[in-house]
Structure 1
Amino acid sequence: MSDKNLPVKADDEQHGAVEVAEPIADPGLEPHEYRITDIDPKAADRAERQVATMFTLAGLLFLGACVGYFAIPRDAILEFGPLTGNANNMTLGLCLGLGLFLIGAGAIQWAKQLMVDTEVIELRHDANSSPEQKADIIEGFNEGAAESGFGRRKLIRRSLLASMGLLGLPAIVLLRDLGPLPGRSLYNTIWAKGVRVVNDVTDRPIKPSDLVVGQLVNAQPANLTPIQEESPVEYQNAKAKAAVIVVRIEPAKIRTKPGRENWGIDGILCYSKICTHVGCPISLYEQTTHHVLCPCHQSTFDLADSAKVIFGPAARPLPQLPLAVDAEGYLVAQSGFTEPVGPSFWERG
């Protein structure tokens, strides 16, 4: 610190010299005041029992959340005067909220009443620690662990570990709300032989002449619309699996996979729109490279080379839908997909 930044004590009127004041003396630390738990073993034992009780009650509340999830009907309603709410959700919220609160309160009581509370002074040091400093850090950590009493106070340790272990149970139970496992649901879509390819916005059938080289269109099967009238839920499920992208590439630039020589029409190819990583919809297309990008995790597929993965976490290429042209000149599917669509995160034996 330069002298000009220190407080001025007096000025020399003739020479303008500045005399710098002495730094403020170190006031030191106040005398340490011992807590009752430091000098009375009975008070320390009483505080330990309080902390253990909080942890134990927290564990029971976590169990209560699991029991309430299964025991209380999902459509049960609780009424508190003008306020109403779902009984199942309120039970989960109260049990989990109170349980977490008790763990926090118990940790605070433990720290304030039982952990060592002596004041320490530590000088500031460079960010890069020397070997000696690293050794001091490890030693300090070990001392802190010893001073916390975690290893010595078995009642607190066991009740805390039990409650934290039980905290995981509601999380596991709530996985049920994620819905059923996909099973083999993605092995079949509503695509079938002769089903027309239609624009997913206008619902118009697509002819090869409608597409120019470099163009990509989001599409869907023509038999999807009737499902919407019968069941909106089934419609969304079917559309989520059957959505496709149709792209036209110069035939000379296409590298056809063996066995798929007749799957395209004059450079027109059709692929599933669902990323094979975790199932995000994709359509970010780069015309010059024929690459399509998934916006979720940047998996990139080369549509000119059977949609193989060239970057990102996707595990396999986009499934390809074989195309043909019907008697009226519209694009149709030769068959359904020959492999499952969607993500590849479970066994597909």
Structure 2
Amino acid sequence: MAHEIEAPDQDRGPAPSSGLAVAVTDPVRNPGLPPHRERVTDQDPAKMRAAVRTVYTLFYLSVAGSIWAIAAYFLFPMEDGELASVRANNLFVGLGIALALLAIGVAAIHWSKAIMSDTEHVEHRHPTRGKDTTRAAAVQAFAEANEESGFGRRAMIRNSLIAALVASVAPGIVLFRGLAPQGVNPVELLSHTMWESGMRLARDPSGTPIKASEVTLGSAFQVIPEPLAGLSHYDGYLEEKAKAIVLLMRLLPEQLQETEERASWSYDGIVAYSKVCTHVGCPVALYEQQTHHLLCPCHQSQFDVSRGAEVIFGPAARPLPQLPITVDDEGYLVAQSDFHEPVGPSFWERH
């Protein structure tokens, strides 16, 4: 059967769009940059001088804030057991540091808005391939930046900025002083903990003594000396716990590769090692029972429990100190003695 093709009807309106974009014959013209509006500092030299004075005054105010933070560190020392002294130290040191950094930020913003060159310019795109003139162009760019910012010409701003930046890091350097023990030998301090011969191993934080029969294969207990649970936080609890905290694990006795000296330091496959990483003192918290590896989550040092907690990966410099243990007449796990070496980070052992 033949079909007739109907001619387009002019009254039906435009044909549906095919979805193709139609080229614009008259492109939009670039309107250019708007007229330049001069700042008040560009119009009035007195206003410019005032802006310069404001900037370098703020930089010197930053220097004063840094000096105050250092002075407050010594004027308001943190006393043991006195929460008010800690609050006062944090408040006044923090105010000094906040003033130092805030003044630098405000001065830098005011400098850029009121003093630096305010001329608009267009930066045209160019090929990224290096040319022979690239080094000369870079030198020219730095020279122009120096001219526009006034860094080379305005000595007061330049010198006050350098002084403020140098002073701003001084409080942080001084605060590092509080990280080191004062008036004591770190090696001697970390060479002794609360552990004594016959002292029972207890669960943390309840202080419940642990029997050897309660330690199952593959388990890991965080333990403390039994008397530690009876101390309050103001009797040196946290300081003693930080040194004496121990991880207790049980392996098959034949899995332990012990030296002759340490053959008697374990009991029926149960071993106890310091929980304090020998890298920077983070708590070793993750135990993988299939590989017998202990992992420090801070910097990924790994220790092999089956071989004296020796370092098998990471930045730690020496094995975890081992606590010699045994059982008493009632079957409770007890320490044979204190650790035989300092606990904690290895850098404390430098002489």
TM-score interval (norm. to shorter)? 0.7 to 0.9
CA distance in 2, matches of 1:28, 1:337: 78
Give the corresponding residue for 2:148.
147
Distance 1:69 1:221, change over 3 A: closer
1:197-216 map, 5 Å: 197-200=201-204, 203-216=207-220
Matches within 5 A, 1:117-132: 117-123=118-124, 129-132=128-131
State the SS of the aligned residue for 1:171. Answer: helix
1:115 Cα deviation after fit: 1.6
Question: Once structures 1 and 2 are overlaid, which stretch shifts more, 98-107 or 248-257?
Answer: 98-107
Deviations 1:216-270 (A, max 9, x none): 22222223234x16x6442222222111112111222222235212211222211
Provide, for residues 62-107 of structure 1, a one-character-per-residue CA deviation record: whole Å limited to 9, x for no partner: 32343345446879xxxxxxxxxx7765554544434433322322
Equivalent in 322, 325, 343 of residue 323 of structure 1: 325
Structure 1 SS opposite 2:71: helix
Q: Percent identity?
A: 47
Structure 1 range deviating more: 170-179 or 296-305: 170-179
Structure 1: which amino acid aligns with 2:319? P
Cα deviation, 1:293-346, whole Å, max 9, x if unaligned, reads 122332211100111112222222110011223333332222110111122243
Q: Specify the alignment match of 1:246 in structure 2.
A: 248
For residues 154-190 of structure 1, give each alpha carbon's deviation from its aligned partner in whole angstroms, at most 9, with x where no partner exists: 1111111112222233334444555745723221101
Cα separation, 2, equivalents of 1:32 and 1:252: 85
1:55 equivalent among 39, 49, 59: 59
Confirm or deny that 1:160 pairs with 2:168: no
What SS does the aligned partner of 1:131 have?
coil
Q: How does 1:91-240 map to 2 (within 5 A)?
A: 91-123=92-124, 129-132=128-131, 139-175=140-176, 180-181=181-182, 183=186, 184-200=188-204, 203-226=207-230, 228=231, 232-240=234-242
- The alpha carbon displacement at 1:59 in A equals 1.6
Cα distance 1:145–1:311, how it changes in 2: closer, same or farther (>3 A)? farther
Residue of structure 1 aligned with 2:259, choices 257, 260, 276: 257
User: TM-score, normalising length from structure 2?
Assistant: 0.78
User: Following the alignment from structure 1 to structure 2, what is the Cα–Cα distance between the partners of residues 279 and 347?
Assistant: 13
Q: 1:298 aligns with which of 300, 307, 329?
A: 300
| Partner residue, 1:276 | 278
The structure with the largest strand share of the pair is 1
Equivalent position of 1:337 in the other structure: 339
Shift of 1:152: 2.4
CA distance in 2, matches of 1:140, 1:343: 49
Bigger drift between 30-39 and 258-267 goes to 30-39
Alpha-carbon separation, structure 2, partners of 1:241 and 1:73: 24
Counterpart Cα distance in 1 of 2:71 and 2:208: 52
Aligned match of 2:70 in 60, 66, 69? 66
Q: What letter matches 2:32 in structure 1?
A: G
Aligned to 2:24: 20
Quick one: distance in 2 between partners of 1:73 and 1:186?
A: 24
Which residue does 2:6 correspond to in 1? none
Q: In the alignment, is the contact (CA less than 8 A) between 2:251 and 2:269 conserved in 1?
A: yes
Deviation at 1:26, TM superposition (A): 0.6
Could you tell me the TM-score, scaled by structure 1's length? 0.78
Gap change, CA 1:346 and 1:88, over 3 Å in 2 = closer
Structure 2 unmatched runs, 5+: 1-12, 80-86
Alignment length (residue pairs) = 324
Report the AA paired with residue 158 of structure 1. Answer: N
CA-based RMSD of the aligned residues comes to 3.4
CA separation in 2, counterparts of 1:73 and 1:273?
31
CA 313–32 in structure 1, closer or farther in 2 if over 3 Å, else same? same
